[in-house]
Structure 1
């Protein structure tokens, strides 16, 4: 399944399940600095696009582009690895929760660096999967998706980026994969899972096994016992990061 096909398949619920989380948006927009022109790469339906700046979006999926709201930034059909813009066309380029789906992440980052003076990328340190109970205890298949992919260190080095942690609030409004870490019952909801690309990537067998195991552990109290350190946290460190260059 190609990247565009993946998002054509999962993108139908994005305007419902994938909304801007204000606390994370504040961190992302602060990282953009004083940039007035911003390129949003892998823009999806437009979450996290700052309303007070001149934004241009890039999104390869027609399903995603069709869901962008009226008045959203103009959107170009293109891939990160081949951005159709001149060198240094933008003050900043941003990418939110999209880089791990790019065919060549380093090429995409270098393209962002080529067309913009500043780069801000929301991503995950996949060497830290044990930080999140869903990866650790229910979905070992996620690690298999990372074989041959560049590490966070390699990604950062490719554009000279610094790395900044992003804590995930317990009531995160954006339904990305890590968002429901303190609300485990949410992962039993097929509508919620349908907005997370990971399930399409690991396949239905792994998905249903993980859901069954989690349902059983919630019913037995095993999940609560294994994750008692989480239940009183307001925000969690789950390996989510910003790359800022």
Structure 2
């Protein structure tokens, strides 16, 4: 798994859970009485019945709020827990960071008794997001390598229901496409620091595209080109919720 010890230092400041997305995740968990969060980061979206978080980065663990479930410093590919450790296991926006997705999903299947919930993205959809397609195609190329196809994940899970997760225009969780209607946010270094794809792309690679975006915002060109977005309340930018029953 990619290390967040360097890119995750200010993660909790811009990655605050969005209640609307949280509601969908919690519905997907169903009536699970115990939940383990794998690739847990700072603990976003953990429901009250979370009994353990699994996270390889000590920097991310240190940013977990007081009162959060205990955290185990371990990778998804090798979780030191017994089989059937919890009713449900969730893994949110983490699979694309794993060095071995097959091993990681097998671990999810091993420690979950009843259900697995995975939040991921469909790269075929997300790479057409205006920020990547028009301004930062070099960053998009990174996901050409690390993204795990939804169909592949469904197969590894042994079958799963796939739900579209639309992103609200005022989403409070600052992941990559959260600011689809607030383009000026991408010019903020702190916002970019909370987005792994941008945080791990060199500044000299991002700089020309961000300069074009700044110019297009100043001239009104972006607003004219994307006028169809300005009245939208939510948008499908590729995020998908996979729900697998064991």
Shorter-chain TM-score bucket reads over 0.9
State the TM-score, normalized to the length of structure 2: 0.93
Q: What secondary structure does 1:128 align onto?
A: helix
- Measured after TM superposition, the shift of residue 200 of structure 1 is 2.7
Q: What secondary structure does 1:163 align onto?
A: strand
Residue in 2 that maps onto 1:225: 224
Residue in 2 that maps onto 1:49: 46
Residue in 2 that maps onto 1:109: 105
Assess if the C-alpha contact under 8 Å between 2:97 and 2:146 holds in 1. Answer: no
Residue in 2 that maps onto 1:8: 5
> Aligned partners of 2:85 and 2:146: how far apart in 1?
32
Residue in 2 that maps onto 1:37: 34
> Aligned partners of 2:127 and 2:146: how far apart in 1?
19
Assess if the C-alpha contact under 8 Å between 1:131 and 1:237 holds in 2. Answer: no
> Aligned partners of 2:168 and 2:126: how far apart in 1?
18
> Aligned partners of 2:8 and 2:21: how far apart in 1?
21
2:74 aligned with 1:74: no
Structure 1 unmatched runs, 5+: none
Residue in 2 that maps onto 1:133: 130
CA deviations 1:18-60 (Å, max 9, x no partner) are 1110000000000001111111011111110112x14210111
- Measured after TM superposition, the shift of residue 130 of structure 1 is 4.7
Taking structure 1 as reference, are residues 164 and 99 closer, same or farther at Cα in structure 2, changes over 3 Å only?
same
Assess if the C-alpha contact under 8 Å between 1:57 and 1:74 holds in 2. Answer: yes
Q: What secondary structure does 2:178 align onto?
A: coil
2:82 aligned with 1:86: yes
Q: CA RMSD in A?
A: 1.4
> Aligned partners of 1:85 and 1:28: how far apart in 2?
23
Assess if the C-alpha contact under 8 Å between 2:55 and 2:71 holds in 1. Answer: yes
Assess if the C-alpha contact under 8 Å between 1:17 and 1:192 holds in 2. Answer: yes
Assess if the C-alpha contact under 8 Å between 1:129 and 1:136 holds in 2. Answer: no
2:120 aligned with 1:153: no
Residue in 2 that maps onto 1:182: 181
Q: What is the aligned residue count?
A: 241
Assess if the C-alpha contact under 8 Å between 2:96 and 2:148 holds in 1. Answer: no
State the TM-score, normalized to the length of structure 1: 0.94
Structure 2 unmatched runs, 5+: none
Assess if the C-alpha contact under 8 Å between 1:49 and 1:55 holds in 2. Answer: no
> Aligned partners of 2:227 and 2:102: how far apart in 1?
38
Residue in 1 that maps onto 2:207: 208
